Copies of this chain bind each other. A is one copy, B any other.
Amino acid sequence: MTRGFYIGRFQPYHNGHHRVVEQIATEVDELVVGIGSAGDSHSTRNPFTAGERIMMITKSLVDFDLVTYAVPIEDLDRNAVWVSHVQSMSPNFDVAYSNNPLVIRLFDEAGIEVRQSPMFERDVLEGTEIRRRMAEGGDWRELVPKPVADVIDEIDGVDRIQKVSDTDAGDTPAE
């Protein structure tokens, strides 16, 4: 039995992520999807809560022939303990999937196998692009699985992103 670990912020979970998971599914029996920056929400870069992202991922993966776990991972803001933190929050895994150079280096230093996932650039671009389209009223539905669009509609997510985008960057709620 092989269990993989795939980390991202999934703001939101989109087709690029989905294709990566399809690829990983051919290599592992079980997959932990680690939801990074789980404590962040209602910001331009992290509009959705961890709970909302769990819903997006679980509903999108429901028909996959793959045991999956969607696990929120709060930031500790300490790169040096990040791998240990992830390991304590996640079911035990054999291999991590990432294209983020820092993540690769951190797992390397901890002696954990990392495989690069395909289609990385697309993956990164789409997150930013989808949020931009939402903020500007463009068409974003084609870029995400149907269940993700349903979650976003249910929470009036486009309005949230537009409100957040009107706020000065770096502002806390308190001005």
A166→B100 CA distance, assembly (Å): 8
Question: If A81-B76, A173-B7 touch, does A89 touch B37 (CB 8 Å cutoff)?
Answer: no
With A72-B72, A175-B8 known as contacts, the answer to whether A41 contacts B100 (CB < 8 A) is no
Q: Does A42 contact B (CB under 8 A)?
A: yes
* SS of A interface (majority): mixed
One digit per residue, 1 when the CB lies within 8 angstroms of any chain B CB and 0 when it does not, for chain A 19-41 equals 00000000000000011111111
For residue A89, which residue of chain B has the nearest CB?
A: B50
- Over the window 63-88 of chain A, the binary record of Cβ atoms lying under 8 Å from chain B Cβ atoms (1 yes, 0 no) is 00000011111111111111111011
* Complex contact A73–B174 (CB within 8 A): yes
Interface size on A, residues (CB 8 A): 64
Q: Are A167 and B102 in contact (CB under 8 A)?
A: yes
Q: Which of B37, B79, B163 contacts A104 (CB 8 A)?
A: B163
Query: Could you say which of B69, B100, B159 contacts A70, with CB atoms under 8 Å apart?
Result: B69
Known interface pairs A51-B90, A80-B87, A88-B51. Does A106 touch B36 (Cβ–Cβ under 8 Å)?
no
Residue on B with the closest CB to A51? B90
Point out the residues of chain B lying under 8 angstroms from A168, CB to CB: 124
Chain B residues, Cβ within 8 Å of A80 = 39, 41-42, 49, 84-85, 87-88
**Are B81 and A54 interface neighbours, CB within 8 A?**
no
Assess the A101–B166 pair: CB atoms within 8 A.
yes
Interface assignment of A105: CB less than 8 Å from any CB of chain B? yes
Closest to A74 in B: B74
Residue on B with the closest CB to A73? B174
